[in-house]
Amino acid sequence: MEKLKIIKEQNGNDTITRTIRMSGTTFDKINALAEKNEISFNSAINQIIEYVLKNLDE
């Protein structure tokens, strides 16, 4: 499986706003990843979700 590579710029005009709940620990890990890579929390979440969906065993 290919490793997740965080990209600084990601274009996406077709967006939908949703509210999700996650544990504080998960939030802290993703927030730290976003800060380390100088990207928004939202961008980190989207990249993680896209990576998981691409590598999901169906």
Confidence band, pLDDT 50/70/90 cuts, at residue 1 = confident
| Amino acid found at 23 | S
Q: Are 49 and 58 in contact (CB under 8 A)?
A: no
Give residue 45's domain range.
Answer: 24-54
- Is there a domain that residue 11 lies in? no
Q: Nearest 5 degrees, angle CA 33-CA 36-CA 40?
A: 70
Say if 45 falls within a structural domain: yes
In a domain, 4, yes or no: no
Number of domain units in the chain: 1
Residue 42 resides in a domain: yes
Is 46 a domain residue?
Answer: yes
Residue 4: pLDDT band by 50, 70, 90 thresholds?
A: confident
Query: How confident is the model over 8-42, as pLDDT tens digits?
Result: 876 667 888 999 999 999 999 999 999 999 999 99
From 30, 26, 27, 58, select the one nearest 43 (Cα to Cα): 30
